[in-house]
Structure 1
Amino acid sequence: MAPSAGDRPDAAAASDGGLPLADRPAESLTRTPAGARRLRRARRVAHLLDDAIRLPVVRYRVGVDALAGVVPVLGDLLATLLALLVVWEAFRLGARKRTLARMLLYVGLDLLVGSVPIVGDALDAVVKLNRHNVRLLERELERES
């Protein structure tokens, strides 16, 4: 018997066959084609920031967020601007103020922690806050449908 979505700690259960929300097509979570494009864009940005690059040998994925921290101040600001794109798409998709506030809190924490040399870069590589923001958005969209 295959494990259900509830058995996976990082997956929010969906109403259609127990697929995690992240595995569902964007069209099934949004009402319009424009909404689906916005969700796909948010997913792509989060992937770019958190998982786009596979490190050889250790076989671990990191994103631009962790690598951008190598360039002091400018790299973290660039990563924050990209992370704000996810929040902007959530706003355009009609996410509740509470959800947007949580997402902004995560972006702020990412900026604050990421700006600490070495430790911040390591945490950016391990803690995937942009992916978490997309999961918040997906849950919000599931709630609305």
Structure 2
Amino acid sequence: MAPEAAGGDASAALADRPAESLAPSPADARRLRRARRVAHLLDDAIRLPVVRYRVGVDALAGVIPVVGDLLATLLALLVVWDAFRLGARKRLLVRMLLYVGIDLLVGSVPIVGDALDAVVKLNRRNVRLLERELVRRD
């Protein structure tokens, strides 16, 4: 089994690889970089002092009922759009959309949803799925 297919540490290794090494063209590398930036913004952009834990805009968006969660969902759909533009399989796109939908539903529950958004990083998971898809195609 290839290291990329093993999961866990291999996913972290993919995230450390430059986009140019995973994408076949400069335009595709730009799309992958954008997907990574959006996932980082939504899931890990803010470091909480003292506890040294990272949260993203997705977890904080719940402070603004309905509108915040919808804006976070629109940003999360950018990752899925980039996966579509990169030629991801329909099965993967459906899985990514399912994660976005779960994030919207769970995130819209006051307090509990915000806490789960801070812990469960579904946007980062979508980017990992996309990176594995790009490696699989090579």
Both structures adopt the same fold (TM-score exceeding 0.5) = yes
Runs of 5+ in structure 2 lacking a partner?
A: none
Distance 1:23 1:83, change over 3 A: same
- Give the secondary structure class of the aligned counterpart of 1:42: helix
Aligned residues: 135
Distance (Å, rounded) in 2 between the aligned partners of 1:33 and 1:12: 24
Distance (Å, rounded) in 2 between the aligned partners of 1:9 and 1:91: 22
Aligned partners of 1:11 and 1:22 also within 8 Å: no
- Percentage identity across paired residues of the two chains: 83
Matching residue of 2:85: 92
**Which aligned runs of 4 or more in structure 1 are off by greater than 6 angstroms?**
none
Matching residue of 1:81: 74
Normalised to the residue count of structure 2, the TM-score between the two structures is: 0.93
Residue 38 in structure 1 maps to residue 31 in structure 2: yes
Distance (Å, rounded) in 2 between the aligned partners of 1:55 and 1:48: 14
Q: Spell out, residue by residue over 1:65-116, the C-alpha distance to the aligned partner (whole angstroms, 9 max, x if none).
A: 0000111000000000000000000000000000000000000000000000
Match of 2:22 among 23, 29, 32: 29
Normalised to the residue count of structure 1, the TM-score between the two structures is: 0.89
Shift of residue 11, structure 1, vs aligned partner: 3.1
Q: Which has the higher contact order (CA 8 A, sep 6+)?
A: 2
Match of 2:124 among 126, 131, 138: 131
What RMSD in Å do the two structures reach over aligned CA positions?
A: 1.6
Residue 120 in structure 1 maps to residue 95 in structure 2: no
Higher share of residues assigned helix: 2
- Kindly provide the amino acid, as one letter, of the partner of residue 35 in structure 2: A
Distance (Å, rounded) in 2 between the aligned partners of 1:39 and 1:20: 15
- Give the secondary structure class of the aligned counterpart of 2:54: strand
Runs of 5+ in structure 1 lacking a partner?
A: 14-18
Distance (Å, rounded) in 2 between the aligned partners of 1:53 and 1:9: 26
Shift of residue 10, structure 1, vs aligned partner: 3.3
Matching residue of 1:16: none
- Kindly provide the amino acid, as one letter, of the partner of residue 68 in structure 1: A
